[in-house]
Structure 1
Amino acid sequence: MLLFKKIARNICFIISLLFRAFTEVHKSRILCMSYDFTKYSCNPKYITEYLLQNCPDEYEIYWCFKKGISIPQLPYGIKTVRWRSLRYFYIVNTSAFIFSNFRLGKFGSYLKKRQGQRYIMTWHSSMGIKKIEKDVENTLSIEYIEAAQYDSSMCDLILSGCRYRTEVIRRAFWYNGEILEKGTPRNDALFQSSLDIKDKICKKYNLNPDVKFLLYAPTFRKDYNLEYYKFDWKDVQCVLQQKYKEIYCILLRLHPNFLNNPSFDLTKHLNDSVVNVTNYHDMQELLAISDILVTDYSSSLFDFALLYRPCFIYSTDVASYDRGTYLNLNTLPFPVATTNEELLNNLSCFNSEEYINRMKYFNSQVIGTYEKGEACKELYNWMNIM
């Protein structure tokens, strides 16, 4: 089976090279992909929608998806292509701009970039707690490292949301090229009105738009152990109602990896005031409508921080977490809890004025944010210079 896989990969790469040899790059063609060709989301989505809105006739935009992936209601103007089809080999070799939020290895993209093509790595976070790439090289597979190095060798540009992330890119991405320090496209949405987004999500999940929303968005654990995620929903809601005199609905957003593991079922622990939104396609939209965020090691911390709304870290496995972190949790501006009791206390004692002051210092001095809500515009300007 392994030999067959290697032979199939090499045949596909040869086919791609043939398309490269007998075609030309189309200067107005764009190809986008997100999360291993499985989603219409993240930075490539927001870049696409900026271009469709601001220069609808300037580019021919393709999105690539794996076989069996269905994306309902793609915006008008987007064309689709199936990964590893003959048409994919044609489009990937004739696109002037290629956007991806994940690593495109030799046998992920089947691309040998040529003159006239620009590959932009958007990545999938503006800043993160968890160590990544070369900073955790000893935990990565040889296959991933080779794919990452091949990907970086093709890159013309990597996007950065803050000074701290730029330092990580320089040190850990096997990359010495240009970095656009103008923010993260997906975070542009957090600088805009969220009323329409809230109305859309409330209709989808039959939610009352007049209540407040707490988003609980823990990150992934390899062993799928439920103990990491247990949460006293009712007690949290009671504390919030007592403190703010408002009714809170809890939105549960698990890591997308959990959707592929039917044995993992946290929903049996939910009550009527907790709504499972794990299958919602856009995390940024959930952040935009939420009044409070509770998470652990998720990069959503730093996105939500741009809103200066209350954000809490709830991490029950600090002592055993094996991924490694760039920043000690206790040095962050977010209140940290390792038990439900500590979380309830942090919610009850939260001081908004002190928190905002800490956040302003953290964003400007510690990580040096570049986010101004104009990342897509700045990237478009870069494309025109090219």
Structure 2
Amino acid sequence: MFLLCKRLFTKLFWLIPLKNNKIFFSSYEGKQYSCNPKAIYEQLKNEEKSYYYIWEYNSSSVPDELKQNVIIVKHNSLSYFYHLLTAKYIITNSGISAAISLRKEQVCVNTWHGGGAYKKVGAVVDEKINGTACKELAIIAKQTSYFLSSSQEFTKVMEKSTFIPRNKFLNIGMPRNDIFFAPSKMENLRKKVRDYCNLSDEKRVVLFAPTYRGKSGNMHYSTLIPDIDNLTKALKSKFGGEWVVLYRSHYYKTTVENNPSIIDVSEYQDMQELLCLADVLITDYSSCIWDYSLIFRPCFLFVPDLEEYENERGGFYTQISTWPGIVCKNDEELAKKIFYYNRVEYIQKVKIHHSSLVSYDKGTATE
């Protein structure tokens, strides 16, 4: 009943004429200025001066990029509904709620927020874990005009997970990953993040970026953290140099216990920029392994809860042994596999993975 009432309420905005030169952007329902919508917006604003740009952004601390020629709206505010339902084009990385009735004339592009084919989402996961009922997913699918894909396997699995028909998928790669094909841009972003973290050029960086556990939207999930001292010792022994650990939580945020060896960069909104800086990535079941694999740097999967997590989500889309990361079930394995890391063998593994999934990421998705 609530869903029906809200859909009827949003239809009232249909009385207002649609603006063909208005584009509405949303990243994680206003939680961030980041991801694929950011990449698309930053190219569009330099090329198309005749459009009105609307950004859903909830924080009062507005990024500099959104302070000029942009209208800011907060999630579920009256201005949010007004601009969302009068914009010809909608670009989002998480979809528009089934409680909102979009017009048939509107073009809704779901860029999504992850690549590859790893942890299961959507209709193939228990509704208690996924957080969205199948009937709602069906409404969202009907209101989606296009859905971006990073690989052939992604298109295949997400068709079943989202109910979106294959002819709506744009098999072009992810705009946010285009920077990984532009070395000069990557170097500039490395410097930007170093300055933000107040790190000298001599410091080597390992980024620890786990995904969430439990139900989608859970704000109190636990984080399984590797032994930081053993980790940095292993990295120094294998690769040399002095190492610092950056911690970046999932956007369903949590915190880690105070540790002088960890710099919490969870408030740094652009994950891709953090990946540019990272010399090594440690994650678990996060799709950031797809993004990071495009630059062929070492990635280790710290998964002490592998069996539990796999059972909870009904398995994975693909076997974890084939992912572009080295599986480690405990601290001892993590240190050991860092020590025995072979760059040539690892790069070959990543290339096989890209070929197996049939990667669409070529550095041209934004264009």
**TM-score (ref. length: structure 2):** 0.89
> SS at the partner of 2:316?
coil
Correspondences of 1:209-228 after superposition (within 5 Å)? 209-222=201-214
Does the Cα contact within 8 Å between 1:287 and 1:304 map onto a contact in 2? Answer: yes
Pairing 1:149–2:142 present: no
- Residue 235 of structure 2 aligns with which residue? 240
Does the Cα contact within 8 Å between 2:24 and 2:53 map onto a contact in 1? Answer: yes
Does the Cα contact within 8 Å between 1:104 and 1:147 map onto a contact in 2? Answer: no
Q: C-alpha offsets along residues 50-77 of structure 1, whole Å, 9 cap, x if unaligned?
A: 2123x141422101234x6543323433
Of 348, 351, 376 in structure 1, the residue corresponding to residue 339 of structure 2 is 348
Does the Cα contact within 8 Å between 1:240 and 1:347 map onto a contact in 2? Answer: yes
C-alpha distance in 2 between matches for 1:133 and 1:63: 26
* One-letter identity of the residue aligned with 2:120: K
> SS at the partner of 2:301?
strand
C-alpha distance in 2 between matches for 1:282 and 1:190: 14
Does the Cα contact within 8 Å between 1:128 and 1:298 map onto a contact in 2? Answer: no
* One-letter identity of the residue aligned with 1:131: K
> Aligned pair in 2 of structure 1 residues 225, 126: CA closer, same or farther (>3 Å)?
closer
> Aligned pair in 2 of structure 1 residues 291, 81: CA closer, same or farther (>3 Å)?
same
Of 108, 114, 119 in structure 1, the residue corresponding to residue 108 of structure 2 is 119
Moved beyond 4 Å, runs of 4+? 12-15, 137-143, 223-226
1:210 to partner: Cα distance? 2.7
1:142 to partner: Cα distance? 8.2
> Aligned pair in 2 of structure 1 residues 58, 190: CA closer, same or farther (>3 Å)?
farther
Of 2, 20, 29 in structure 1, the residue corresponding to residue 14 of structure 2 is 20
Which structure 2 segments of 5+ residues have no match? none
C-alpha distance in 2 between matches for 1:26 and 1:143: 30
> SS at the partner of 1:236?
helix
Which structure 1 segments of 5+ residues have no match? 260-264, 378-386
* One-letter identity of the residue aligned with 1:162: S
Pairing 1:311–2:291 present: no
Does the Cα contact within 8 Å between 2:96 and 2:140 map onto a contact in 1? Answer: yes
C-alpha distance in 2 between matches for 1:245 and 1:64: 44
Of 30, 41, 49 in structure 1, the residue corresponding to residue 42 of structure 2 is 49
Does the Cα contact within 8 Å between 2:212 and 2:221 map onto a contact in 1? Answer: no
> Aligned pair in 2 of structure 1 residues 143, 220: CA closer, same or farther (>3 Å)?
closer
> SS at the partner of 1:150?
helix
Q: Which region of structure 1 is more displaced relative to structure 2, 294-303 or 164-173?
A: 164-173
> SS at the partner of 2:306?
coil
Q: Which region of structure 1 is more displaced relative to structure 2, 55-64 or 325-334?
A: 325-334
C-alpha distance in 2 between matches for 1:198 and 1:159: 27
1:149 to partner: Cα distance? 1.5
Correspondences of 1:1-386 after superposition (within 5 Å)? 6=2, 10=5, 13-21=7-15, 23-53=16-46, 55-66=47-58, 70-75=61-66, 76-107=68-99, 110-115=100-105, 117-137=106-126, 139=128, 144-176=133-165, 177-192=167-182, 193-222=185-214, 229-259=224-254, 265-268=255-258, 270-271=259-260, 273-321=261-309, 322-323=312-313, 324-364=315-355, 366-377=356-367
> SS at the partner of 1:61?
strand
Does the Cα contact within 8 Å between 1:43 and 1:186 map onto a contact in 2? Answer: yes
> SS at the partner of 2:253?
helix
> SS at the partner of 1:90?
helix
C-alpha distance in 2 between matches for 1:141 and 1:20: 31
Does the Cα contact within 8 Å between 2:123 and 2:137 map onto a contact in 1? Answer: no
C-alpha distance in 1 between matches for 2:336 and 2:124: 35
* One-letter identity of the residue aligned with 2:203: V
Q: Which region of structure 1 is more displaced relative to structure 2, 119-128 or 158-167?
A: 119-128
1:126 to partner: Cα distance? 1.4
Does the Cα contact within 8 Å between 2:282 and 2:302 map onto a contact in 1? Answer: yes
C-alpha distance in 2 between matches for 1:36 and 1:315: 29
> Aligned pair in 2 of structure 1 residues 310, 147: CA closer, same or farther (>3 Å)?
same
1:113 to partner: Cα distance? 1.4
* One-letter identity of the residue aligned with 2:13: F
Q: C-alpha offsets along residues 280-335 of structure 1, whole Å, 9 cap, x if unaligned?
A: 11111111111110111010111100001111111001121112311222233422
C-alpha distance in 2 between matches for 1:312 and 1:143: 31
Q: C-alpha offsets along residues 330-381 of structure 1, whole Å, 9 cap, x if unaligned?
A: 23342211010100011111000111111111101x111000111110xxxx
* One-letter identity of the residue aligned with 1:30: I
1:32 to partner: Cα distance? 1.1
1:201 to partner: Cα distance? 1.8
Does the Cα contact within 8 Å between 2:127 and 2:134 map onto a contact in 1? Answer: no
RMSD: 2.3
- Residue 380 of structure 1 aligns with which residue? none
**TM-score (ref. length: structure 1):** 0.85
